[in-house]
């Protein structure tokens, strides 16, 4: 925070496949997002649609440890789905809700620059690791009372799109804008938060610190896709983000009303 200056609040909401693939959850989440006051950014993942289209086109989707391998043909599909059908449908629905949304990839206005991930130790193809966020550009967009809606595509500045993890995009956006805003990031998915027992929907862990995260990993309570999600959350906090919370998408409306649901991620 800048000393002696009151910070405006910025809320970054990330919705993933469990929301995108469920029309009811998606509509509920977008309605709650549209109703939020103040500066806000929406980041969305890819969902199942890209894999479905790949199979229709005779392209076999490949995943390594839950992460998509994006070869040249798959990249064409994710560009069509992420930046096209998904992003524009979300923007259109937000507009119908009175939210003046602007659909974006990282290439638009050079907003998110990335580099292609090295092929070793694992070759994910055209996967991008974020190099730079154009924070000043995004601030200008927000000042125009526009609401950026980012899909999970970045670019390398040399005419190459790159498939980039949406959780990472949300975290890096938050860190890049933390010098000017009090930033809160909310990861929305299909569980009530991080669960102590994956078979018990009500076993939500109220808060997770860096220290308890290591213990939860060792005990295999936190595993698979939740590990990189939490790693992104800690990196956001280390970058200056004020709060990170993981919630069920249905709790988004309550969160904007001050209801502290889900799992709060903390450094200490």
**Under 8 Å between Cβ of 138 and 173:** yes
Tokens linked to 21: 């693939």
Task: Quote the CA–CA distance of 77 and 51 in Å, as a whole number.
Answer: 9
| Radius of gyration of the chain from its Cα atoms, rounded to whole angstroms | 18
For residue 3, pLDDT over 50 is answered with: no
Which of 189, 192, 167, 172 is CA-nearest to residue 241? 172
Facing residues of 185 across strands? 12, 244
Q: For residue 11, what are the CA distances in angstroms to 14, 106, 208, 211?
A: 10, 19, 20, 26
Least confident of 65-74, 162-171, 174-183, 235-244: 65-74
Q: Please report how many Cα atoms fall inside a 13 Å half-sphere around the Cα of residue 123, on the Cβ side.
A: 4
Q: What is the mean pLDDT of residues 50-56?
A: 92
178: closest CA among 2, 43, 42? 2
Mean pLDDT of 43-69: 89
- CATH class entry, domain 8-192+243-253: alpha beta
DSSP H or E segment with residue 130: strand 128-133
Q: Are 74 and 125 in contact (CB under 8 A)?
A: yes
Encoded tokens for 128: 């991008």
Residue 131 is inside which H or E element, if any? Answer: strand 128-133
**How high is the pLDDT of residue 47?**
79
> DSSP for 181-235?
EEEEEEEEESSSSSBSSTT-TT-B-SEE-HHHHHHHHHTTSS-TTHHHHHHHHHH
- What tens digit of pLDDT does each residue of 58-109 get? 999 998 877 889 999 999 999 999 999 999 999 999 999 999 999 999 999 9
What SS3 state is found at 40? Answer: strand
Mean pLDDT across the chain, nearest whole number?
93
pLDDT-derived band at 258 (thresholds 50, 70, 90) equals confident
Residue 184 near residue 9, CB atoms below 8 Å: yes
| CA pseudo-torsion sign 167, 228, 128, 88 | negative
Q: How high is the pLDDT of residue 66?
A: 72
Q: Which residues pair with 128 in a beta bridge?
A: 116
**pTM for this predicted structure:** 0.94
The yes-or-no verdict on residue 150 having pLDDT over 80 is yes
Q: What pLDDT shows up at residue 129?
A: 96
Indicate the domain borders of the chain: 8-192+243-253
On whether the CB atoms of residues 184 and 243 are closer than 8 A, the answer is yes
Q: Which pLDDT belongs to residue 4?
A: 41
Q: How many CB atoms lie within 10 A of CB 253?
A: 16
| pLDDT-wise least confident of 5-9, 32-36, 44-48, 184-188 | 5-9
For the chain, helix, strand, coil in percent to 5 are 40, 25, 35
The separation between CA 122 and the C-alpha centre of its own chain, rounded to angstroms, equals 23
CA distance linking residue 55 with residue 159, whole number of Å? 26
Q: Kind of pairing, strands 8-15 and 128-133?
A: unpaired
Beta bridge partners of 181: 8
């Amino acid at each position: 925070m800048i000393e002696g200056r009151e910070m405006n609040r910025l809320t970054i909401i990330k919705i993933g496949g469990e929301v995108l693939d469920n029309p009811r959850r998606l509509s509920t989440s977008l309605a709650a997002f549209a109703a939020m006051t103040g500066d806000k950014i929406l980041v969305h993942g890819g969902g199942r649609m890209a894999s479905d289209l790949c199979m229709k086109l005779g392209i076999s989707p490949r995943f390594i440890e839950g992460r998509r391998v994006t070869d040249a043909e798959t990249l064409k599909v994710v560009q069509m789905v992420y930046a096209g059908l998904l992003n524009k449908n979300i923007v259109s629905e937000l507009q119908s809700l009175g939210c003046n949304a602007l659909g974006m990839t990282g290439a638009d206005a050079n907003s998110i620059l990335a580099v292609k991930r090295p092929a070793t130790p694992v070759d994910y193809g055209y996967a991008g690791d974020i190099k730079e966020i154009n924070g000043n550009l995004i601030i200008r967009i927000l000042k125009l009372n526009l609401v950026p809606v980012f899909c999970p595509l970045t670019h390398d500045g040399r005419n190459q799109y790159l498939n980039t993890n949406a959780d990472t995009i949300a975290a890096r956006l938050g860190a890049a804008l933390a010098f000017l805003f009090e930033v809160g990031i909310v990861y929305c998915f299909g569980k009530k938060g991080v669960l102590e027992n994956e078979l018990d929907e009500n076993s939500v862990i109220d808060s997770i610190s860096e220290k308890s995260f290591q213990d939860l990993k060792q005990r295999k309570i936190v595993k698979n896709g939740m590990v990189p999600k939490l790693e992104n959350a800690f990196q956001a906090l280390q970058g200056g983000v004020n709060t990170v919370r993981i919630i069920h998408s249905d709790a988004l409306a309550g969160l904007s009303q001050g209801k502290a649901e889900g799992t709060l991620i903390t450094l200490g």
